[in-house]
Structure 1
Amino acid sequence: MSTFPFDTQSELNGNVLSRFYIDGQWVLPSARETVKLVAPSTGHAFARVPLADTGDVDKAVDAARTAFDTGPWPRMSGVERAACLRRMSTALASRMRTLSRIWTAEVGAPVWFADMFVPTATAMLDYYAELASTFAFQETRPTRAGEARIIRQPVGVTALIAPWNAQLPILSYKLGAALAAGCTVVIKAPPETPFDALVVAECAHEAGLPPGVLNVITADAERGAHLVAKREVDKVSFTGSTATGKVIAKMCADRMARVTLELGGKSAAIVLDDAELNPTLAALAPFTMPFSGQICFAQTRILVPRSREQEFVDAYSAVIGCLKVGDPWDVTTQIGPLASQRQLDRVLGYIETGRKEGARITTGGGRHPQFDAGFFVEPTVFAGVTSDMTIAREEIFGPVVSILAYDDIDHAVALANNTDFGLSGTVFSSDVERAYATARRIRAGNVSVNGLEMAPNVPFGGFKQSGLGREGGPEGLNAFLEDQAIYLPANAPRRTQA
């Protein structure tokens, strides 16, 4: 039996529950359209929140446009913007407990998982505050006739669109870089998880960001498309499905708007023949189906030497079969529910497809029998999987892992790269340099050795259909900047310098 110990009326203020944040003010929605929020752990609605119409989108964009064109934010120094970012980070830090509980309430993230990853938001803001205070927004280069000053200008008004599964951590990658660069932003919160971004707006207000620098609306896909299409929006930063990313890319291309896309994944973990079994399982298992597999970097394909296939299948299946599935509010729960009925139906459909195509289920394989409410599915492992099977090629976004056997290292690399995606990957070996040499051959944006790590100062993003551009690190800041070169003649009189 699952509980739901989250009371929106006592844990969130009325602005977050009923308004949008536009031009430095909490404003009532233009229309009366609302959407129900359903708790994944119980299947019951726990809140109803407003949705933006096109008028709300237009107001948010207009506010961001005015703030960029005439406001102080783009003209502040990096040091001045950094001070605001640090104040925002402090405000967020004071709300960590609330933000963690929001994640569990909205999408069923187990409390231990939410507590672990919510601090990503403050880490990203702190990183970009530090970078903004030291970054060379201007430099001078000698030329044949004099010199050129290279000014790294903020790209302008940016639309930030993060997905429902990990709204706050993903948004923080985008927001920290955009604000550090001097951009103004419109955040489109998804209707499934609206509260995270609105709490961020509270923090921005508390930190004293100028009006219009940060605006938050909750909107569906139709109004999201209206936002992306607006000519006043200079850049779109989107994280979500590859299918939606392609649509956004085309819309941006039509008007040459800048775009960053962080899309789907079908990441491979390569277990080399010299990897020790127990340490490998301990490091790998948590990243194969974290948050019930609803994370883009989940290592959902495990590639093992054919000579050790049965050994690994048995050991890994035993580990997964012992995971505690249950109430996400219980600190001992390891696997919680899927986020929605739609996700449950999707995952169960993939499991059935895996069966029909000849893969062998070694543990799990259906809706969890212990729960008569909520969206619980058994953690499922398939063995005997080949790279042409649907479950080995498409992103399932659920607690489903495929184990594939390889003959030699060249075969392993070929299997890892035999995918439309290229977001993440891992290599396990007792020889770190051998693992590194293998990792260099994987066509993915992020590959870790003997574990999986993400750090604020390191770029994150994918090859192939996993996206365009990078988030995090200096690369993430550069994605929100335009380079302007101004040539100056030698020996010209210089009275002032802006």
Structure 2
Amino acid sequence: MSTLASVSSFPFDTVSELSADVRSRFYIDGRWMAPDAAGSVDVVAPSSGQLFATAALASASDIDRAVDAARRAFDTGPWPNMSGAERAACMKRMSAALASRMGLLSRLWTAEVGAPVWFSNQFAPTAVAMLDYYAELASTFAFEERRKTRAGHARIVRHPVGVAALIAPWNAQLPILSYKLGAALAAGCTVVVKAPPETPFDALVVAECAHEAGLPPGVLNVITADAQGGAHLVGKREVDKVSFTGSTATGKLIAKTCADRLTRVTLELGGKSAAVVLDDAVLEPTLAALAPFTMPFSGQICFAQTRILVPRQRERAFVDAYSAIANGLTVGDPWDVTTQIGPVASRRQLERVLEYIETGRREGARVTAGGGRHDQRGEGFFVQPTVFAGVTPDMTIAREEIFGPVVSIIAYDDVEQAIAIANDTDFGLSGTVFTADAEVGYAVARRIKSGNVSVNGLEMAPNVPFGGFKQSGVGREGGPEGLCAFLEEQAIYLAVDAGLQAG
């Protein structure tokens, strides 16, 4: 059974570590503004279940002010009309300011949602890498090009789409926001960021960095809002583009709202990713490469490899070895550097995960590791790393996104069946293939209906697009593809032989 690290006193002090602006105001039109109303949200530490902060919650009028500021900044401000190189210079200053606060932002991730410190320290800096990537791309991207036509030539002009609403989720707000914000700013858009109530402070710290970097007023506006506020933001006719990461159910609602007025939309949604272990994969290195991505951050990551597909003749050996790894994970205080699995983010999430575990049992799957709430002192939201064997593709735990430390092992008889099982899902966000032959792995990966598939590991890079097939989303973030999602293309034809030029 997994071990439990002791839960220490809460080592994050919002008063001393966060400015008064971040704690109590919104960033709108280049200024820190008090909320119009007295709405607030309690932020609970998942490791203890105790309140550790209170944050302002936006009203409809706050959201209207933010959208109006972004609209003015786009219609009359300098940002959309700057060259890519000029925008890049400002973005690089913003990235440097963000890098100087990386210690704070890593700690904030742990404080708000219980990400273990090893995880937050490793992945929070990807936000800086993403902003730097898009700054470099902005300085070199062809925002205008010329193409020869029969009558002369055409100039293809790539304009910023306009005001963009950026909605990032609670689980990994900073890295995911950087995908959206980097691309939007590089394109020349102005933005309204809706921070989630579970993690209200990260985006406001980013606003401090933008202010320090000299971003023109109204280019970046940040408010914290709940689902109702998010719906109000998405429904604003002044918003030209919505970029949302979150649940498939909410994504569908956003898509319907955007469809009514053909607002441009990018959706990065849920996943139920499959790791396909081929028959020639060597067990020990495969487990070493795969295990960290099966339940990272307690499984609360969209790309988690939560379905492991193994050859039937190797099923028992794989189940035994992987279950031993899960049972050996240290669960507990996310502030402890030895902790591998922290809490899930909320009591609601705890109850949801435990219900899925019971559903797996009822439907006939066999628990080979974990299987319930972790025995521990206090009221933290800890779930045992749980492994199910004997899972069939029709079971609920094999089909629905659990968003917890729960992994299903599914046996297959041949490669064709493995590919069919991997594709037998409503989702298609991520996936992996493990094999001794990388070219065979590539051939299998091409047949998996997923936006991202890695061979013999899992990697994400700023210059590579990320997004999903099927109900895992619409559009891509990252790479030049992510920038193009915030651009509109205009073709201007110029006829040189029309006889209309002055003699």
Q: What TM-score does the superposition give when structure 1 sets the normalisation length?
A: 0.99
Matches within 5 A, 1:66-105: 66-105=72-111
* 2:288 match: 282
SS in 1 for 2:403: coil
The match for 2:454 among 441, 448, 453 is: 448
The match for 1:177 among 166, 183, 202 is: 183
C-alpha distance in 2 between matches for 1:448 and 1:375? 32
C-alpha distance in 2 between matches for 1:278 and 1:386? 25
Q: What letter is aligned with 1:308?
A: R
Q: 1:255-277 deviations in whole A, cap 9, x for unaligned?
A: 10000000000000000000000
Give 1:492 deviation, angstroms: 7.3
Matches within 5 A, 1:111-260: 111-260=117-266
- For structure 1, the residue ranges without an aligned partner over 5 or more in a row are none
* 1:38 match: 44
Give 1:147 deviation, angstroms: 1.0
Give 1:170 deviation, angstroms: 0.3
The match for 2:7 among 2, 24, 29 is: 2
The match for 1:301 among 304, 307, 312 is: 307
Residue 424 of structure 2 is aligned to residue 422 of structure 1: no
The match for 1:393 among 389, 393, 399 is: 399
C-alpha distance in 1 between matches for 2:378 and 2:44? 16
Q: 1:125-169 deviations in whole A, cap 9, x for unaligned?
A: 000000000000000111111111100000000000000000000
SS in 2 for 1:140: strand
Q: 1:63-111 deviations in whole A, cap 9, x for unaligned?
A: 0000000000000000000001100100000000000000000000000
| Contact 2:279–2:311 (CA under 8 A) maintained in structure 1 | yes
Matches within 5 A, 1:337-376: 337-376=343-382
Distance change >3 Å, CA 437–CA 371, structure 1 → 2:
farther
Q: Output the aligned Cα RMSD.
A: 1.0
C-alpha distance in 1 between matches for 2:261 and 2:447? 36
C-alpha distance in 2 between matches for 1:255 and 1:115? 41
| Contact 2:163–2:189 (CA under 8 A) maintained in structure 1 | yes
C-alpha distance in 2 between matches for 1:449 and 1:149? 41
Q: What letter is aligned with 1:399?
A: P
Q: 1:443-486 deviations in whole A, cap 9, x for unaligned?
A: 00000000000000000000000000000000000000000011
Give 1:493 deviation, angstroms: 10
C-alpha distance in 2 between matches for 1:175 and 1:351? 37
Q: What TM-score does the superposition give when structure 2 sets the normalisation length?
A: 0.98
Q: What letter is aligned with 2:341?
A: I
Give 1:2 deviation, angstroms: 1.6
C-alpha distance in 2 between matches for 1:124 and 1:274? 36
Q: What letter is aligned with 1:42?
A: S
Q: What letter is aligned with 1:258?
A: R
- For structure 2, the residue ranges without an aligned partner over 5 or more in a row are 1-5
Q: What letter is aligned with 1:201?
A: A
SS in 2 for 1:446: coil
Give 1:373 deviation, angstroms: 1.8
* 1:319 match: 325
Give 1:371 deviation, angstroms: 3.6
Identity, % of aligned positions: 79
Residue 25 of structure 2 is aligned to residue 19 of structure 1: yes
Q: What letter is aligned with 2:174?
A: L
C-alpha distance in 2 between matches for 1:334 and 1:493? 74
The match for 2:417 among 385, 405, 411 is: 411
Q: 1:50-73 deviations in whole A, cap 9, x for unaligned?
A: 100000000000000000000000
Give 1:491 deviation, angstroms: 4.8
SS in 1 for 2:331: coil
Q: 1:335-378 deviations in whole A, cap 9, x for unaligned?
A: 00000000000000000000000000001000001243210010
* 1:334 match: 340
SS in 1 for 2:330: coil
Q: 1:159-187 deviations in whole A, cap 9, x for unaligned?
A: 00000000000000000000000000000
Give 1:327 deviation, angstroms: 0.2
C-alpha distance in 2 between matches for 1:255 and 1:292? 39
Q: What letter is aligned with 1:458?
A: V
SS in 2 for 1:152: strand
C-alpha distance in 2 between matches for 1:324 and 1:374? 15
| Contact 2:278–2:311 (CA under 8 A) maintained in structure 1 | yes
* 1:384 match: 390
Which stretches of structure 1, 4 residues or more, deviate above 6 A after TM superposition? Answer: 492-495
* 1:28 match: 34
